[in-house]
Amino acid sequence: MTAISHRLVGYDPASERVAAEYEIPKSRLDYAKRVAGVDADDPDAVLCYKLTGEETRGIAGTIGIVIDVATLHF
């Protein structure tokens, strides 16, 4: 079985390319799933979830990083 890696991913709004990635530690995953609104039908959180600025800041804070949500889409 392949391990699943969970990340907070920021996209450049002009190019729509990945511009930043931050690993979400397993110890913070339940919080990140709640904030992102992961449904019960995706228990491993394998889908992508668009985040608001507030949601992004919340997850970033819990993993110990500071993000400027005005420059990237998460």
Q: Contact 32/49 with Cβ under 8 angstroms? A: no
Predicted confidence pLDDT, tens digits, the chain (74 residues): 578 899 999 999 999 999 999 999 999 999 999 999 999 999 999 999 999 999 999 999 999 999 989 999 99
Q: CA-to-CA distance for 29 and 50, rounded, in angstroms?
A: 16
Q: Is residue 17 part of a domain?
A: yes
Smallest CA-to-CA distance from 51 within 65, 63, 34, 29 is with 34
Looking at the structure of the chain, the number of domains it has is 1
Strand extents, DSSP E, the chain: 7-11, 18-23
Q: What is the pLDDT of residue 1?
A: 57
Segments forming the whole domain that contains residue 31: 7-62
From 62, 74, 72, select the one nearest 15 (Cα to Cα): 72
pLDDT score of 23 = 97
Residue 70 lies in a domain: no
3-class secondary-structure state, position 26:
helix
